[in-house]
Amino acid sequence: MPEPVFDERDRVNQPTRVELPAELRGVTDPGRIAEYYQRREAQLRDQLRQQPPSPPPPPSRVTITEPTQPNPNTATFSVDEANAARQTLIAAARSTAMQNKPYWERLKDKIEQLMGTMQPADQVNSNVWETAYHTLVGQNLNMLQEQDRQMAADAARIAAERSAPPSGAPVAPVPLDSKVTSKVLPGLGISEEQYRTAQDNMNTGKWPLTADNVGGKRVLIGGQ
């Protein structure tokens, strides 16, 4: 049984669809989409600038107690422990935000750079991460769509190359006409291979020796 020409590696993935908020449903103009996200980014930055400054860093040891009711059971964290906890929260927010985001990996460096300018309270908020993602998708929409088209074209080309026979591989001959196989070959008493050889000789000018009866005598005609 012949092996299939294509396998799973030859599947051509369709370009992923851009996730847009409700305000942009039905909008196909990339300029309007980019303008929307640029406006969102400016609003986000203005909001962040209006927030009060971050509190000073905690001392080397932080004691957490109930402010109104003293509790002998207090919890103490070091700076390293507090930083580790914050990084865990940031990683959790990032992981939640990146779900079902087709362009996240391609925009990852820009997302990290933008989020690095945010306050710690925003860095642990998955909604802020999603806002940064959608903002960057709007700003880079044309580039992302062009990359999608290029990847689809490359996948189609690779699939076509894999389906083509290797260079130098024998090509199956074209089947002979039914009249040739049913009448000519039996009439001449030759095989299909002999018939094809004779055809090749005639195409290249190498006429085969043939015989005919002339005046009751068999003579050879033609040939080179």
pLDDT tens-digit series, residues 94-105: 999 999 999 999
**Is residue 194 in some structural domain?**
yes
Tokens representing 52 are 């009060």
- Please state the rounded mean pLDDT for residues 143-168: 85
Asked whether residue 193 falls in the same domain as residue 123, the answer is no
**Cβ 145 vs Cβ 115: under 8 Å:** no
**Cβ 97 vs Cβ 130: under 8 Å:** yes
Asked whether residue 186 falls in the same domain as residue 113, the answer is no
Please report, rounded to a whole number, the percentage of residues in the chain having pLDDT higher than 70. Answer: 62
For tokens 């080179």, the residue is: 224
The Cα-based distances of 194 to 55, 74, 174, 185, 201 in angstroms read 95, 100, 15, 9, 11
Tokens representing 28 are 């196909």
Number of domains in the chain: 2
Asked whether residue 190 falls in the same domain as residue 103, the answer is no
- Please state the rounded mean pLDDT for residues 73-83: 70
Asked whether residue 92 falls in the same domain as residue 131, the answer is yes
What pLDDT score does 199 carry? Answer: 76
DSSP annotation of 70 reads -
- Structure pTM? 0.43
Length of the chain: 224
Asked whether residue 149 falls in the same domain as residue 183, the answer is no
Compute the distance between CA of residue 206 and CA of residue 202 in angstroms, rounded to an integer: 5
**Is residue 74 in some structural domain?**
yes
Bridge partners of residue 78, in order along the sequence? 61
Range among 42-51, 53-62, 136-145, 158-167 with highest mean pLDDT value: 136-145
What pLDDT score does 113 carry? Answer: 94
Phi, psi of 210 (to 5 degrees): -130, 165
Asked whether residue 145 falls in the same domain as residue 187, the answer is no
Asked whether residue 49 falls in the same domain as residue 129, the answer is yes
Nearest to 75 by CA among 66, 63, 90: 63
**Is residue 54 in some structural domain?**
yes
Asked whether residue 128 falls in the same domain as residue 191, the answer is no
**Is residue 79 in some structural domain?**
yes
For tokens 């909604």, the residue is: 127
Nearest to 130 by CA among 100, 106, 109: 100
pLDDT digits (tens, 9 = 90+) for 164-218: 766 666 667 778 777 777 777 787 778 878 877 877 777 776 655 454 544 444 4
Asked whether residue 29 falls in the same domain as residue 65, the answer is yes
**Is residue 20 in some structural domain?**
yes
What pLDDT score does 214 carry? Answer: 43
212 sits in which H/E element? strand 210-214
Compute the distance between CA of residue 169 and CA of residue 32 in angstroms, rounded to an integer: 54
**Is residue 90 in some structural domain?**
yes
pLDDT digits (tens, 9 = 90+) for 4-16: 555 555 555 554 5
Asked whether residue 142 falls in the same domain as residue 208, the answer is no
Q: State which residues form the domain around 194.
A: 178-221
What pLDDT score does 193 carry? Answer: 82
Residue type, 22: A
**Is residue 170 in some structural domain?**
no
- Please state the rounded mean pLDDT for residues 65-74: 55
| Last residue in a domain, options 105, 129, 158 | 158
More confident residue, 132 or 27: 132
**Is residue 1 in some structural domain?**
no
Asked whether residue 80 falls in the same domain as residue 123, the answer is yes
Asked whether residue 31 falls in the same domain as residue 128, the answer is yes
Q: Residues 20, 51, 126, CA angle at the centre, nearest 5°?
A: 35
More confident residue, 47 or 222: 47
What pLDDT score does 224 carry? Answer: 45
Residue 71 pLDDT > 90: no
- Please state the rounded mean pLDDT for residues 139-152: 92
What pLDDT score does 45 carry? Answer: 73
